């Protein structure tokens, strides 16, 4: 039996391929421990014998949902010098194409928590300008930023 598992905020979905047939199974997610719904579902599907599983593929939308709902931890962003405003600029997509004064949501990480480092990669990922350790040290210990439990890193190629 092969099983694909998607742990979501409300439901944990199972796509089961067994004996040439595809079936779907659902369980309520367990937000306090997302793995519990997955383990419970796999136990149900196998009758308690997890050795019946030939393969399991796993994915989750929990982290994506936390970001979109702005429920995640406070974070800071390290970016290539010159790209501090990348989240604020975003893309040219607009929720209302013809609005003269569109309402654009604030970036997930505010500008004051975005910090630049001196480095540059090309379009293949090859280093054009190596990371300057002094700029990384300065960016990772800003005096004006609150303590942040996590950091996102965005390297930009030219």
Question: pLDDT tens digit string along 62-106?
Answer: 777 777 788 777 778 888 898 888 888 776 666 677 888 877 778
How many of the other CB atoms lie within 10 Å of CB of 15?
A: 14
Q: Which domains does the chain have, with CATH numbers?
A: 2-67 (3.30.420.40), 75-154 (no CATH)
Asked if residues 127 and 121 have their Cβ atoms less than 8 Å apart, the reply is yes
The torsion region of residue 8 among left (phi > 0), alpha (psi -120 to 50) and beta comes to beta
Q: Using the predicted structure, report yes or no on whether residue 29 has a pLDDT greater than 80.
A: yes
Over residues 130-157, mean pLDDT = 73
For residue 24, give the H/E element and its range.
Answer: strand 21-28
User: Do the bridges between strand 120-121 and strand 55-60 make them parallel or antiparallel, or are there none, so unpaired?
Assistant: unpaired
Residues 6+ apart with CB under 8 A from 31: 9
Rounded to an integer, the average pLDDT of 25-40 is 93
CA dist., res. 46 & res. 3, Å (int): 10
Q: Is 35 helix (H, G, I), strand (E, B) or coil?
A: helix
What are the tens digits of pLDDT across the range 36-73? 999 999 999 999 999 999 999 998 887 777 777 887 77
DSSP 58-97: EEESHHHHHHHTT-S--EEEEEETT-TTHHHH--S--SST
Structure tokens at 69: 């709902």
In this predicted structure, the answer to whether residue 156 has a pLDDT above a threshold of 80 is no
Supply the pTM of this predicted model: 0.55
pLDDT at 12 over 80: yes
Yes or no: say if 66 and 14 are a contact pair by the CB < 8 Å rule: no
Mean pLDDT of the chain: 84
């Amino acid at each position: 039996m092969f099983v694909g598992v998607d742990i979501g905020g409300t439901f944990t979905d199972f796509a089961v391929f067994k004996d040439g047939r595809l079936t779907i199974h659902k369980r309520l997610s367990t937000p306090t421990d997302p793995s519990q719904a997955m383990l419970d579902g796999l136990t149900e599907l196998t009758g308690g014998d997890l050795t019946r599983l030939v393969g399991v593929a796993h994915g989750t939308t929990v982290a994506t949902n936390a970001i979109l709902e702005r429920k995640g931890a406070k974070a800071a962003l390290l970016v290539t010098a010159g790209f501090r405003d990348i989240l604020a600029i975003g893309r040219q997509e607009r929720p209302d194409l013809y609005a003269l004064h569109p309402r654009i949501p604030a970036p997930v990480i505010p500008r004051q928590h975005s910090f630049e480092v001196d480095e540059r990669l090309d379009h293949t990922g090859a280093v054009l300008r190596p990371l300057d350790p002094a700029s990384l040290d300065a960016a990772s210990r800003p005096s004006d930023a609150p303590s942040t439990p996590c950091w996102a890193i965005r390297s930009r190629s030219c």
